[in-house]
Amino acid sequence: MLITVKSVQDNKHVLITDEINDLIHREVNFPEHTRFAYSVINKRHLEPPVIYSNYPAEWINKYINLTLYQHDPVIIIALRRIMPFTWNDKILPLNKTQHKDIFKVAKKYNVFNGHTFPLHDHENNLATLSLYTEGDIDLFQQFVTNNKKNIQQLLLLIHERYMIERRHDHDILKEKLAKKLTSREIEALRWASIGKTYHEIAIIMGITESTVKFHIGNLIAKLEVVNAKHAIKKAADLHLL
């Protein structure tokens, strides 16, 4: 069974889930009992990752709900690597208690050693394809060693498919928000994004400071974020600024 965690709010997109599943089984003939997880996380903002996986569902849910991704040693290593690497519960310094706790939980689901293939893209994302086995470990290790190029190519194919879907989602969201946001609201946020204070924005736009706050407040509500900083990030990600 393929588990999909698009984000905390969104757990849909069955089509892309099926396509990723097909890619994995069509492009590389993995040994029986192979578990995989394709994940994407932004390197600037450690928000919950996007995950497509056939790892145990209970483990994936704990990984997200307990924010284990923020201390995951595999992700931390992948942030510094461009080549695939092997990992296990012995790779960590003894004083890294949080890292040890992750493997303590993961071991309950037989997740304690495997391989990860990293990919750093032009939008500052880290994509990874992690693999482990619940079958013959020696056979699995030999398979990964002999198929590194094919597995890296598989990661590129999966990530390209995901990015197409992500751009499509962003275009739809941008179109919806563009109809809701006024030009003055966007102008106020644009000035805020380059470090101008509310007082400075009021002078530049020829309005009162309370009106600036009103515009920013409207933006926060319309973008469904919690503060101006998050509004700037979301608007920038959607190329609204």
Tell me, yes or no, whether 39 and 12 share the same domain: yes
**Residue found by looking up tokens 């600037």 in the block:** 44
Which of 119, 141, 170 is a domain's end point? 170
- The pLDDT value recorded for residue 191 is 94
103 and 188 assigned to the same domain: no
CB atoms within 10 A of CB 113: 17
Asked whether residue 104 falls in the same domain as residue 206, the answer is no
Contact between 105 and 95 (Cβ < 8 Å): no
Q: Please tell me the pTM assigned to this model.
A: 0.69
Please tell me whether residues 34 and 143 are part of one structural domain. Answer: yes
- Give which of 75, 78, 68, 74 is closest to 89, Cα–Cα: 74
* Better pLDDT: 112 or 196: 196
Calpha distance 184→163 (Å, rounded): 31
d(CA 10, CA 12): 6
User: What is the tally of structural domains in the chain?
Assistant: 2
Range of the domain at 186: 181-237
Average pLDDT over residues 57-66: 86
pLDDT in tens, 134-146: 888 899 999 999 9
Average pLDDT over residues 200-206: 93
CB 185 within 8 A of CB 215: yes
CB 73 within 8 A of CB 87: yes
93, 201: one domain: no
The C-alpha atoms of residue 72 and residue 78 are separated, in whole angstroms, by: 10
